[in-house]
Amino acid sequence: MRHVLTTCVYCGCGCGVYLREENGRVTGASPSRNHPVSRGNLCVKGWHLHDFIHSPNRLTSPLMRKNGELVAVSWDEALDFTAQELTRIGVTTSQQGIGVLSSAKCTNEENFLLQKFTRAILKTNNIDHCARL
Amino acid sequence: MAGLATTFGSGAMTNAINEIEDAEVILVIGSNTTEAHPQIARRMLDAVDKGAKLIVIDPRRTRLAECATLHLALKSGTDIPLLNAMMRVILDESLADHLFIDMRTENFAALRAMLYRLDLAEVEKITGVPLSDIRRAAQFYARARRAVICYCLGITQHICGTANVQSIANLAMLTGHVEKEFTGVDPLRGQNNVQGACDMGALPNMFPSYQAVDNGDYREKFERVWQTRLPATPGLSLLDMTHGGPGGPIRAMFVMGENPLRSDPSLTKVEETLAGLEFLAVSDLFLTETAALAHVVFPAASFAEKSGTFTNTERRVQLVRQAIPPLGDCRTDADIIIALSNRMGYAMAYESTAEIMEEIALLAPIYAGIRHDRLQNSWGLQWPCWNTTHPGTPFLHKYYFTRGKGHFVPNDHVVPAELPCQDFPFLFNSGRIYHHYHTGTMTRQSALLNRECGEALLLIHPDDAARLKVRTGDRLCMASRRGAVEIKAEITDQVAVGSVYTNFHFGETPINRLTIAAQDPVAQCPEFKVCAVRLEKL
């Protein structure tokens, strides 16, 4: 059993929280006692931070729409098709027809990469996220 | 954010969270803090225990309002006249900090002229708040040595959101409540990394660190590091993208970890837009309402399965550490973007997320001193952090504002886009609840959280309920000009007569079908907090 110190994914408070890891599964969450925000406390969402991680509803393989249905496909197929469609529609709309939504749930590093991808590759500034929602 | 940017020069919390507990007066406006920011509410209540005065300005009697010294239950959408009236009282009673105004601000004459035109009796009528309460609130706030204003989406989600924020900034500058510890203006950011996503330039007009895309010098810097030409015109904002309709400008979308089909206003329009796209790719943990419409869905790794950083509402950049490898065939969003990038002819290669942070530090001055190894053995660093030995910045605007001098921007009352009328007689407002988070994608997976709170309840005043012959638990049909939902009633006098309120976390009660897409012209924040509905008992 390990306790891994990380940062809560719920609200903007940013509590320091330990995830309890047992045999490859996250089985619990508890507050950091010394963290300046959590100071040994969590809200009800924080204490149940681990609940969604192993939910049976998690997506576990890429999906593609074929004959109207989403079916499981390989990563290569999903990535190749996405790259091909984004390239094609970028060309037909002079780069202005593609929109990208980034996420206030994802890390700084991922947000940075996605805006770099949008600006440097898709050649558009059509990128936003739900900051205002 | 735009409101504070025009007045102070920087759209972020000016204090650290822990400073709040040592304030003498805390003015909370448009924030349901106990539900949405539990740890910050704790600091507020600790401050009250130490003798601080708590003033809550909110149309509803929230839990925090019940603990307040003074609760001003204003009518929704009348924040500007209320704040203006407080400022007028401060001028009339000689409580303004003229030394601060002279040395640190500009454009005060325009604000003073506007305030002297104000008719206080008229304000009492517009806001529904007794003038004596407004006067007491103004006196408490202005006389305190250490006073903090906290605001949230109740201020920004209006068509006049930017003007609301500017009015708050005016009040703080008028009394000099800015530059010190335990004193400031604190927008509470709703989501765990909304501050970071803005800092990283996930915005249509800004590169990372709020460097404008239409500024040639900034663009050239990014072009040099990224070795490619970059577009100069600002892009479309979220609502422009999701409300364009089937014939709109956007033909394809890539959505990473968002669920616009529950989070955006006027959902029917969003549905038409997304269903009309030639191509939609979504990366998410779950098959959300948005992912169910996609052509390609990528299974993303959760926060427990990756490393990186989040930036909280007090600008604290903190590590996210990997606890387990990605489940099943999942990949991190970073890996998905890198794989797509490499397929589209632009090589991206990073050995670790720490290396991505090095590129961020190179390009984003406020993150210049942030490295993963510096975060490893600390509780994070608060930006601006200008170099690798800089200790970070707990509170902003000491000695000078980010933009130089603080700028007063006088504003007049703006009537909400849609008010109740004969056909739609109730004012509808929505927000968050303690047990759930945003569109419920994650929290609704928890059996315990669902047991504690498993459905949306429409709060309705006993007088209205009596007229409609509705009892708690009865089902109602609630309709606006844009759509309708079925919802269960809960009778409570926390809401005013003629107003109803509920939460937006529940996929089966998609209340954003009803909300209006009218938005603030500058910040482009939709007016979630006011629209007109009618109720029918089922």
- Residue B7, H or E segment: helix B2-7
Count of pairs with CB atoms under 8 A, one residue in A, one in B: 417
Chain A residues inside the 8 Å CB shell of B284: 59
Q: Tell whether A94 is within 8 A of chain B (Cβ).
A: no
Tell me whether residues B193 and A54 touch, CB distance under 8 A: no
What are the C-alpha distances in Å from B227 to residues B199, B230, B364?
22, 9, 17
Chain A residues inside the 8 Å CB shell of B322: 4
Tell me whether residues A45 and B435 touch, CB distance under 8 A: yes
Residue B70: strand, helix, or coil: strand
* CA A57/CA B284 separation, integer angstroms: 12
First to last CA, chain A: 38
Tell me whether residues A12 and B447 touch, CB distance under 8 A: no
CATH of B194-382, one of 3.90.730.10, 3.90.550.10, 3.40.50.740, 3.20.20.70: 3.40.50.740
Q: What is the CATH number of domain A2-47?
A: 2.20.25.90
* CA B517/CA B520 separation, integer angstroms: 10
Closest-CA distance, B139 to chain A, in angstroms, reads 30
Closest CB from B255, B318, B345 relative to A101: B255
Q: Tell whether A27 is within 8 A of chain B (Cβ).
A: no
Supply the DSSP string of B360-424, one letter for each residue.
Answer: HHHH-GGGTT--HHHHHTSS-EESP--STT----SSS-SSSBTTBSEE---------S----SSS
- For residues A49 and A8, is the Cβ–Cβ distance under 8 A? yes
> What stretch(es) of chain B map to CATH 2.40.40.20?
426-537
Give the chain A residue whose CA is nearest to the CA of B192.
A12
- For residues A129 and B241, is the Cβ–Cβ distance under 8 A? no
* CA A101/CA A127 separation, integer angstroms: 6
> What stretch(es) of chain A map to CATH 2.20.25.90?
2-47
The 10 Å Cβ neighbour count of residue B232 is 11
Q: Does ipTM come in above 0.95?
A: yes
Give the chain A residue whose CA is nearest to the CA of B525.
A132
User: Which residues pair with residue B490 across a beta bridge?
Assistant: B459
Tell me whether residues A127 and B329 touch, CB distance under 8 A: no
Tell me whether residues B238 and A95 touch, CB distance under 8 A: no
Q: Which of residues 97-126 of A touch B (CB under 8 A)?
A: 97-117, 119-121, 123-126
* CA B203/CA A126 separation, integer angstroms: 8
* Cis ω for the linkage preceding B384 (within 30 of 0): yes
Q: Tell whether A128 is within 8 A of chain B (Cβ).
A: yes
As separate numbers, helices (DSSP H) first and strands (DSSP E) second, chain A gives 3, 7
Q: B313: which 2 tokens? A: 């509402």
Instruction: Encode chain B (538 residues) as per-residue pLDDT tens digits.
Output: 577 888 887 778 888 899 999 999 999 999 999 999 999 999 999 999 999 999 999 999 999 999 999 999 999 999 999 999 999 999 999 999 999 999 999 999 999 999 999 999 999 999 999 999 999 999 999 999 999 999 999 999 999 999 999 999 999 999 999 878 888 899 998 889 999 999 999 999 999 999 999 999 999 999 999 999 999 999 999 999 999 988 889 999 999 999 999 888 889 999 999 999 999 999 999 999 999 999 999 999 999 999 999 999 999 999 999 999 999 999 999 999 999 999 999 999 999 999 999 999 999 999 999 999 999 999 999 999 999 999 999 887 666 777 788 999 999 999 999 999 999 999 999 999 888 988 888 899 999 999 988 999 999 999 999 999 999 999 999 999 999 999 999 999 999 999 999 998 988 999 999 999 888 888 888 999 999 999 999 9
Handedness of CA B254, B258, B261, B265 (dihedral sign): negative
> What stretch(es) of chain B map to CATH 3.40.228.10?
2-188
Closest CB from B260, B291, B344 relative to A87: B344
Which CATH architecture group holds B426-537? Beta Barrel (2.40)
Chain CA centroid to CA B83, Å: 19
The 10 Å Cβ neighbour count of residue B378 is 11
Task: Mutate one of B344, B382, B441, B451 to test the A interface: name it (highest A CB count within 10 A).
Answer: B344
Supply the DSSP string of B150-216, one letter for each residue.
Answer: EE-HHHHSSTTHHHHHHHHHHHHHHTT-SSSTT-EEEEPPSBTTHHHHHHTT-BTTEEGGGEETT-H
Strand pairing class (B206-207; B211-212): antiparallel
Q: Which of B53, B222, B67, B171 is nearest to B411 (CA)?
A: B171
- For residues B10 and B312, is the Cβ–Cβ distance under 8 A? no
Chain A residues inside the 8 Å CB shell of B318: 7, 14, 16
Task: Tell me the pTM.
Answer: 0.93
Tell me whether residues A111 and B304 touch, CB distance under 8 A: no
Tell me whether residues A12 and B296 touch, CB distance under 8 A: no
Q: B370: which 2 tokens? A: 């942030």
First to last CA, chain B: 42
Q: Which CATH superfamily is domain B2-188 in?
A: Dimethylsulfoxide Reductase, domain 2 (3.40.228.10)
Q: Which of B215, B263, B209 is nearest to B238 (CA)?
A: B263
Chain CA centroid to CA A29, Å: 19
Closest CB from A62, A107, A132 relative to B523: A132
